[in-house]
Amino acid sequence: MANIRQLPSGSYNAQVRIKGHPQKSKTFPTEGEAQVWAKQQEALSKEHKAHTIYTLGMSYREARLKGRGSYGQALIILQQLSTAFPQPIHEITKEQVNKFKLDRLKIVKPSTVRTQLSFLSRFYRWAKRELLIDVVNPVADIALPAPSKPSDKVVSPEELALVIKELPKTMSLIVELAYESAMRRSEMTKLTPSCLHLEERIADVIDGKNGTRSVPLTRRAVELLQEALALMGEHASPKSQVFPVTPHAVSTAVRRARRLAGLDESVKLHQLRHTRITNVAKRGFNNSQIMIVSGHRDTRSVARYSHLNAKDVLHLID
Domain harbouring 94, CATH code: 1.10.150.130
Listed in sequence order, the DSSP H helices in 51-109 are 53-60, 71-84, 94-105
> How far is Cα 103 from Cα 99, in angstroms, rounded to an integer?
6
Q: How many CB atoms lie within 10 A of CB 135?
A: 17
Whether 85 and 181 share a structural domain: no
pLDDT tens series, the chain, 318 aa: 678 888 888 888 888 876 656 778 889 888 888 887 777 766 655 554 578 898 888 888 888 887 666 777 888 899 899 999 999 888 899 999 999 999 999 998 898 999 999 999 998 998 888 877 888 899 999 999 887 666 678 889 999 999 999 999 999 999 999 999 989 888 899 899 999 999 999 999 876 665 678 899 999 999 999 999 999 887 778 888 999 998 888 999 999 999 999 998 889 888 898 888 888 887 877 777 878 887 777 777 676 655 566 666 556 566
pLDDT recorded at residue 208: 60
pLDDT recorded at residue 60: 85
Tell me the CA distances in angstroms from 178 to 48, 62, 113, 215, 218, one per residue in order. Answer: 43, 29, 28, 12, 11
Whether 166 and 294 share a structural domain: yes
Task: List 204's β-bridge partners, or say none.
Answer: 214
Picking from 148, 172, 196, the residue at the C-terminal end of a domain is 148
Domain count for the chain, please give it.
3
Picking from 148, 172, 203, the residue at the C-terminal end of a domain is 148
Task: List 4's β-bridge partners, or say none.
Answer: 14
Q: Report whether 178 contacts 186 (CB < 8 A).
A: no
Whether 284 and 266 share a structural domain: yes
Whether 169 and 139 share a structural domain: no
Picking from 148, 170, 202, the residue at the C-terminal end of a domain is 148
pLDDT recorded at residue 305: 57
Range of the domain at 304: 157-317
Residues in the chain: 318
- Among 77, 87, 83, which Cα is nearest to 121's? 77
- Among 12, 41, 44, which Cα is nearest to 28's? 12
CA triplet 178, 173, 228: central angle to 5 degrees? Answer: 120
> How far is Cα 192 from Cα 240, in angstroms, rounded to an integer?
5
Whether 74 and 104 share a structural domain: yes
pLDDT recorded at residue 46: 55
Which residues lie below 8 Å from residue 138, measured CB to CB, with a gap of 6+?
92, 93, 94, 96, 97, 124
Whether 64 and 200 share a structural domain: no
Whether 250 and 167 share a structural domain: yes
Q: How many CB atoms lie within 10 A of CB 76?
A: 10
Whether 37 and 179 share a structural domain: no
CA triplet 257, 263, 266: central angle to 5 degrees? Answer: 100
User: What's the CATH number where 235 sits?
Assistant: 1.10.443.10
pLDDT recorded at residue 85: 93
Q: Report whether 306 contacts 277 (CB < 8 A).
A: yes
- Among 193, 138, 174, which Cα is nearest to 251's? 174
The Cα diameter of the chain in Å comes to 76
> How far is Cα 250 from Cα 256, in angstroms, rounded to an integer?
10
Q: Report whether 201 contacts 217 (CB < 8 A).
A: yes
Whether 116 and 56 share a structural domain: yes
pLDDT recorded at residue 111: 87
Whether 28 and 167 share a structural domain: no
Whether 236 and 207 share a structural domain: yes
> How far is Cα 184 from Cα 270, in angstroms, rounded to an integer?
7
Q: Report whether 294 contacts 302 (CB < 8 A).
A: yes
Whether 88 and 235 share a structural domain: no
- Among 81, 80, 60, which Cα is nearest to 70's? 60
Listed in sequence order, the DSSP H helices in 106-218 are 110-129, 157-165, 169-181, 185-189
